[in-house]
Amino acid sequence: MADQVQPAPANLSGSDDASFTDNTGKGRGSFPKRGEPVITGINRVGLWSLYIKEVRRFLKVQTQTIWAPAVTTLLFLVIFTVALGREGREVLGVNFATFVAPGLIVMGMMQNAFANSSFSLLSGKIQGTIIDLLMPPLSTGELLTGIVAAAVTRAVAVGCAVALAMTFYPGVDLVLAHPWAVAWFGLMGAVMLALMGLLASIWAEKFDHNAAVTNFVIAPLSLLSGTFYVIDNLAPLFQVISRFNPFFYVISGFRFGFLGQSDIGDTNAALVQSAIGLGVFNLVFAFVVYRILASGWKIRS
C-alpha cells in the first residue's frame, strides 16, 4: 500500500510555532513565531535588487544622465579657458585648462550624484509608487545604502565620461600624481552629495522643491568652491568662508590627485588630514540622514 501523508498533530500548547511532517512521520521543521523576522542579518538579495533597479533606471536614459553632463562640463571648460586662459595663463604651475579640468570632473560627479539620489524617493512620493520601496523586507540601512551606492555609480560613470572627453581637448594634461587622492576625494564627494540628495528627496514634496535645493544650495557651493580659481586670490574673509565649504576640500583634494598641489597644501600630510575630516563628516551626515529616514518623516503617512 502506498505511503500516506500523516497530518501534523494539533498544536495544543498555544505556541505560535506550527510543526509539519513528511510521509515518514518525522518532523521536518517549524514556522517561525509570529512577528519573528525570517531574514536575519543583511538582506543581500534585496539590497542588490534595489541597487540594480536604481542603476537600470538611469542607464535607460544614459544620453541624458551620463553623456549630456559630460558635454555640459566640457562646454564649461571651453568657455572658461577661452575667457580666462589666454596668453598662456598658468595657475599652480600648470596651464589654466589643466588646472580647471580636475575641478570640473569632480563637480560633474557630485552634481549627478545629487540628481540621482534626489529623484529616487521624490518620484515615488509624487507618482504614488513609494510603497515599492517601503514594503519590501529592506531595513533603513539597506534602503539608504542601495540608493547612495547607485548614485555613486552614476557619479563615477559621469566622471569617467567627462575625463575621457577632456583628454581630447587641447592643452589639458590629465596625469595622476596621487591616485589615492583621486579615488578618495572623488568617492567622498559623490557620497556626500548622494546623502544630500536623499535628504532633499525626503523633505521635498514636489519637483520645484528639489530644483530649489539644486539652484540655491548645490550650484552656489559648487561654483564658489575654488573650481575656477585658487582661494589665495580672495580677500581674507572670503578665504575663511571658503574653508567652511565642504565642496572646497573635495575639489582641492581631487585636484591634488592630478597636479600634486592644491589650495589645501602641497604635502600628503595636509591632504590626509582633509581626507580624514571629510570621511568623518560623511559618517556623521550619513547617521543624520539614516535617523531621518528611519523616522518616516514625510514618507510614511
In a shared domain, residues 21 and 113:
no
In a shared domain, residues 185 and 248:
yes
Check residue 249 and give its pLDDT: 94
In a shared domain, residues 124 and 244:
yes
In a shared domain, residues 28 and 50:
no
In a shared domain, residues 142 and 186:
yes
In a shared domain, residues 58 and 166:
yes
Residue 202 falls within a domain, yes or no?
Answer: yes
In a shared domain, residues 159 and 13:
no
Residue 188 is part of which domain span? 45-295
Residue 300 falls within a domain, yes or no?
Answer: no
Check residue 104 and give its pLDDT: 93
In a shared domain, residues 77 and 206:
yes
In a shared domain, residues 5 and 65:
no
Check residue 131 and give its pLDDT: 87
42-77 pLDDT, tens digit per residue, is 889 999 999 999 999 999 999 999 999 989 988 988
Residue 176 falls within a domain, yes or no?
Answer: yes
Residue 301 falls within a domain, yes or no?
Answer: no
Check residue 124 and give its pLDDT: 86
Number of domains in the chain: 2
In a shared domain, residues 100 and 18:
no
Check residue 50 and give its pLDDT: 94
Over residues 197-211, the mean pLDDT reads: 93
Residue 218 falls within a domain, yes or no?
Answer: yes
Are 197 and 191 contacting, i.e. CB atoms less than 8 angstroms apart?
Answer: no
pTM of this structure: 0.84
**What is the distance between the alpha carbons of residues 11 and 18, in angstroms, rounded to a whole number?**
7
Residue 226 pLDDT > 90, yes or no? no
Give the rounded percent of residues in the chain with a pLDDT score beyond 70: 85
Give the rounded percent of residues in the chain with a pLDDT score beyond 90: 49
Residue 39 falls within a domain, yes or no?
Answer: no
- Which pLDDT band holds residue 114 (cuts at 50, 70, 90)? very high
In a shared domain, residues 123 and 220:
yes
In a shared domain, residues 152 and 49:
yes
Residue 220 falls within a domain, yes or no?
Answer: yes
